């Protein structure tokens, strides 16, 4: 369950501004988000590499072309302002590109316990919407976000609900993570 690919949120060629070490001891830092599990990471690029926001980099096992090593996971509050603002766009892009994965969630979500269902973990989805989603998916599995919107009346935008949920999970607002890993 490791990230193989990450997307750059921000690149600091001279390291963090608050790092008080002499310049020759600092290394460039990239803040990134994993493509699969949305893990927020701090990466050290190879010497001479210049990374740009939205650039995709390989961080898996074996030879990496641009990344020297992974410093580790980073908490959302440690992200730069640039990284925070880019994060929302990149999460939307990743949800768009992987729509089938999230539609699969709507088609397969199960009860967590007697009182709560996984679908209710999405912002704006309560018992009534959950029951409608389940009734509709039993007739025919959903094919897209558009399909869900069309078939479940008055449902808040399902794509926006997924994006909002991912951000809430990254910010540590949720006890149960359905889309992210920490």
DSSP states of 102-134: HHHHHHH--BSSSS-BGGGGSTT--HHHHHHHH
Taking the model in full, what pTM does it have? 0.89
**Residue ranges of domains in the chain:** 5-78, 98-170
pLDDT of 182 > 80? The answer is no
Is the pLDDT reported for residue 57 higher than 80?
A: yes
Fold of 5-78: OB fold (Dihydrolipoamide Acetyltransferase, E2P) (2.40.50)
User: Do the first three CATH levels of 5-78 and 98-170 match, i.e. the same topology?
Assistant: no
The pLDDT of residue 46 is above 80? yes
- Average of pLDDT values for 84-97? 95
pLDDT at 4: 94
What confidence tens digit (pLDDT) does each residue in 136-155 have? 999 999 999 999 999 999 99
SS3 for 25-48 is: HCCCEEEEEECCCCCEEEEEECCC
Q: Name which CATH class applies to 98-170.
A: mainly alpha
């Amino acid at each position: 369950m490791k990230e193989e690919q990450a997307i750059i949120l921000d690149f600091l060629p001279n390291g963090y501004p608050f790092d008080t070490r002499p310049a020759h001891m600092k290394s460039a830092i990239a803040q990134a988000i994993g493509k699969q599990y949305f893990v927020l990471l701090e990466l050290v690029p190879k010497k001479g590499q210049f990374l740009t926001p939205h650039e995709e980099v390989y961080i898996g096992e074996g030879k990496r072309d641009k990344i020297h090593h992974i410093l580790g996971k980073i908490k959302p509050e440690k992200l730069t302002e640039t990284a925070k603002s880019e994060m929302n766009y990149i999460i939307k892009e990743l949800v768009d590109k992987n729509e089938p994965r999230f539609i699969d969630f709507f088609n397969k979500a199960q009860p967590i316990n007697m009182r709560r269902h996984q679908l209710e973990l999405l912002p704006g989805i309560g018992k009534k919407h959950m029951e409608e989603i389940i009734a509709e998916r039993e007739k025919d599995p959903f094919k897209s976000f558009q399909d869900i919107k069309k078939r479940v009346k008055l449902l808040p935008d399902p794509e926006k609900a997924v994006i909002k949920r991912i951000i809430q999970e990254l910010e540590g607002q949720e006890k149960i993570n359905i889309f992210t890993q920490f």
